[in-house]
Amino acid sequence: MEVWVQLWQAGLMPPELGAPPQVFMRVPPEKAGQTTVSPGPDTGGTRESLLWIWEELGKLRRVDVQLLGQLCSLGLEMGAFREELVAFLEEEEDILEEEDEEPEQQEEGPAGGSYSEPGYRLPDFEMTI
Protein backbone atom coordinates (compact mmCIF):
# COMPACT_ATOMS: atom_id res chain seq x y z
CA MET A 1 0.00 0.00 0.00
CA GLU A 2 1.71 3.10 -1.23
CA VAL A 3 -0.38 5.43 0.96
CA TRP A 4 0.79 3.52 4.03
CA VAL A 5 4.39 4.08 2.94
CA GLN A 6 3.69 7.79 2.39
CA LEU A 7 2.27 8.06 5.91
CA TRP A 8 5.35 6.31 7.27
CA GLN A 9 7.74 8.58 5.34
CA ALA A 10 5.86 11.69 6.47
CA GLY A 11 6.38 10.63 10.09
CA LEU A 12 2.64 10.55 10.75
CA MET A 13 2.50 6.93 11.85
CA PRO A 14 3.40 5.65 15.31
CA PRO A 15 6.46 3.38 15.09
CA GLU A 16 4.69 0.55 16.92
CA LEU A 17 2.31 0.04 13.98
CA GLY A 18 5.01 -1.24 11.66
CA ALA A 19 4.08 -2.66 8.26
CA PRO A 20 0.47 -3.15 7.17
CA PRO A 21 -1.03 -6.60 7.70
CA GLN A 22 -0.15 -9.10 4.96
CA VAL A 23 -3.82 -9.58 4.14
CA PHE A 24 -3.88 -6.01 2.78
CA MET A 25 -0.88 -6.64 0.57
CA ARG A 26 -2.57 -9.34 -1.53
CA VAL A 27 -5.47 -8.72 -3.88
CA PRO A 28 -8.48 -10.85 -2.96
CA PRO A 29 -10.12 -12.93 -5.69
CA GLU A 30 -12.81 -11.11 -7.65
CA LYS A 31 -14.97 -14.08 -8.61
CA ALA A 32 -15.87 -17.46 -7.18
CA GLY A 33 -14.10 -19.10 -10.13
CA GLN A 34 -10.80 -17.72 -8.86
CA THR A 35 -11.10 -19.36 -5.45
CA THR A 36 -9.39 -22.61 -4.67
CA VAL A 37 -11.64 -25.54 -3.89
CA SER A 38 -10.27 -28.80 -2.62
CA PRO A 39 -11.53 -31.89 -4.41
CA GLY A 40 -13.82 -34.14 -2.46
CA PRO A 41 -17.41 -35.25 -2.08
CA ASP A 42 -20.03 -32.52 -2.03
CA THR A 43 -22.23 -32.95 0.99
CA GLY A 44 -25.57 -31.20 0.74
CA GLY A 45 -24.64 -27.77 -0.56
CA THR A 46 -21.66 -27.35 1.74
CA ARG A 47 -19.48 -26.39 -1.19
CA GLU A 48 -21.91 -23.66 -2.28
CA SER A 49 -22.12 -22.33 1.27
CA LEU A 50 -18.34 -22.24 1.57
CA LEU A 51 -18.02 -20.49 -1.80
CA TRP A 52 -20.61 -17.92 -0.74
CA ILE A 53 -18.78 -17.32 2.57
CA TRP A 54 -15.46 -17.06 0.71
CA GLU A 55 -16.95 -14.51 -1.70
CA GLU A 56 -18.37 -12.46 1.17
CA LEU A 57 -15.03 -12.52 2.96
CA GLY A 58 -13.37 -11.35 -0.25
CA LYS A 59 -15.85 -8.46 -0.49
CA LEU A 60 -15.21 -7.52 3.12
CA ARG A 61 -11.47 -7.61 2.56
CA ARG A 62 -11.78 -5.33 -0.47
CA VAL A 63 -13.84 -2.90 1.62
CA ASP A 64 -11.22 -3.10 4.39
CA VAL A 65 -8.48 -2.27 1.89
CA GLN A 66 -10.50 0.69 0.59
CA LEU A 67 -11.15 1.95 4.12
CA LEU A 68 -7.50 1.58 5.09
CA GLY A 69 -6.50 3.52 1.98
CA GLN A 70 -9.00 6.26 2.83
CA LEU A 71 -7.77 6.43 6.42
CA CYS A 72 -4.18 6.70 5.24
CA SER A 73 -5.13 9.47 2.81
CA LEU A 74 -6.98 11.25 5.59
CA GLY A 75 -3.90 10.94 7.78
CA LEU A 76 -1.79 12.56 5.06
CA GLU A 77 -4.31 15.40 4.71
CA MET A 78 -4.32 15.91 8.47
CA GLY A 79 -0.53 16.07 8.42
CA ALA A 80 -0.65 18.75 5.73
CA PHE A 81 -3.26 20.70 7.70
CA ARG A 82 -1.09 20.43 10.81
CA GLU A 83 1.86 21.92 8.92
CA GLU A 84 -0.33 24.74 7.63
CA LEU A 85 -1.66 25.39 11.14
CA VAL A 86 1.85 25.52 12.60
CA ALA A 87 2.94 27.95 9.88
CA PHE A 88 -0.17 30.09 10.46
CA LEU A 89 0.35 30.16 14.23
CA GLU A 90 4.01 31.11 13.81
CA GLU A 91 2.99 33.92 11.47
CA GLU A 92 0.36 35.13 13.95
CA GLU A 93 2.95 35.04 16.72
CA ASP A 94 5.32 37.16 14.62
CA ILE A 95 2.55 39.67 13.94
CA LEU A 96 1.70 39.88 17.64
CA GLU A 97 5.37 40.43 18.50
CA GLU A 98 5.55 43.23 15.92
CA GLU A 99 2.39 44.81 17.35
CA ASP A 100 3.91 44.64 20.83
CA GLU A 101 7.01 46.48 19.56
CA GLU A 102 4.98 49.22 17.79
CA PRO A 103 3.40 50.69 20.97
CA GLU A 104 6.87 50.96 22.51
CA GLN A 105 8.04 52.96 19.51
CA GLN A 106 4.90 55.14 19.58
CA GLU A 107 5.41 55.90 23.28
CA GLU A 108 8.79 57.39 22.41
CA GLY A 109 7.03 59.76 20.03
CA PRO A 110 7.98 60.88 16.56
CA ALA A 111 11.60 61.71 15.86
CA GLY A 112 12.32 65.19 17.19
CA GLY A 113 8.79 65.89 18.40
CA SER A 114 5.83 64.73 20.41
CA TYR A 115 2.29 63.54 19.81
CA SER A 116 0.87 66.89 20.83
CA GLU A 117 2.56 68.80 18.02
CA PRO A 118 0.13 70.39 15.60
CA GLY A 119 -0.09 68.52 12.32
CA TYR A 120 1.10 65.22 13.80
CA ARG A 121 -1.34 62.40 13.26
CA LEU A 122 -1.06 58.74 14.20
CA PRO A 123 -0.92 56.56 11.11
CA ASP A 124 -4.14 54.97 9.90
CA PHE A 125 -3.35 51.28 9.49
CA GLU A 126 -6.64 50.47 7.81
CA MET A 127 -5.91 52.70 4.84
CA THR A 128 -5.76 50.84 1.53
CA ILE A 129 -3.03 51.82 -0.86
The model's pLDDT over 37-69, given as tens digits with 9 standing for 90+, comes to: 555 565 668 888 899 999 999 999 889 888 988
User: For residue 97, what pLDDT is reported?
Assistant: 86
pLDDT of residue 16: 76
CA distance 24 to 2: 11
Q: Pick the most confident of 15-29, 40-54, 66-80.
A: 66-80
Mean pLDDT of 63-87: 89
What is the Cα–Cα distance from 8 to 111, expressed in whole angstroms? 56
- HEC string of the chain equals CHHHHHHHHCCCCCHHHCCCCHHHCCCCCCCHHHCCCCCCCCCCCHHHHHHHHHHHHHHHHHHHHHHHHHHHHHHHHHHHHHHHHHHHHHHHHHHHHHHHHHHHHHHHCCCCCCCCCCCCCCCCCCCCC
Q: Distance between CA 107 and CA 55 in Å, rounded?
A: 78
